[in-house]
Amino acid sequence: MQDKSIVAENPNAWLQRANSDLIIASRYAEDIFLEDLCFHAQQAVEKALKAVLIAQSVKFPYTHNIGVLLGLIENRLPLPSFALDAAELTSYSVATRYPGADEVVEYNEWCETIQVAKVVVAWATEIVTELQKMKAE
């Protein structure tokens, strides 16, 4: 069986992608499906968490499951309570992206999703910065 773990060396590149997804996710317009915006919020969180793992030199599986990524991080450092809320965003990674595959996302749900994503990306950025400072010392 082939190892599908992802190894990358630059957590900042992952954070840049996370921030790009977060910008897209935050761009509300009436003609854009909220499900699609929530997908980008999920992607922002996923990429930010992977940046934390990369900064810790931790191999991680090819997965969109935020709970799995949080578990890998939690094995090495304590997670803030708000990070645990991010696991719920996993459902936006696939199911909501296709017609009829899931319930319609309401405006207030999108707002909550964006808030979770913003907080997690900011936290991940702080952690990566701290880890890089420690490695440089």
Residue 1: band (very low, low, confident or very high) from pLDDT cuts 50, 70, 90: very low
* CATH number for the domain whose boundaries are 11-136: 1.20.120.330
**pLDDT tens-digit profile of 28-53?**
999 999 999 999 999 999 999 999 99
Query: Nearest Cα to 38, choosing from 48, 27, 30?
Result: 27
Q: Enumerate the domain spans of the chain.
A: 11-136
Quote the pTM value: 0.90
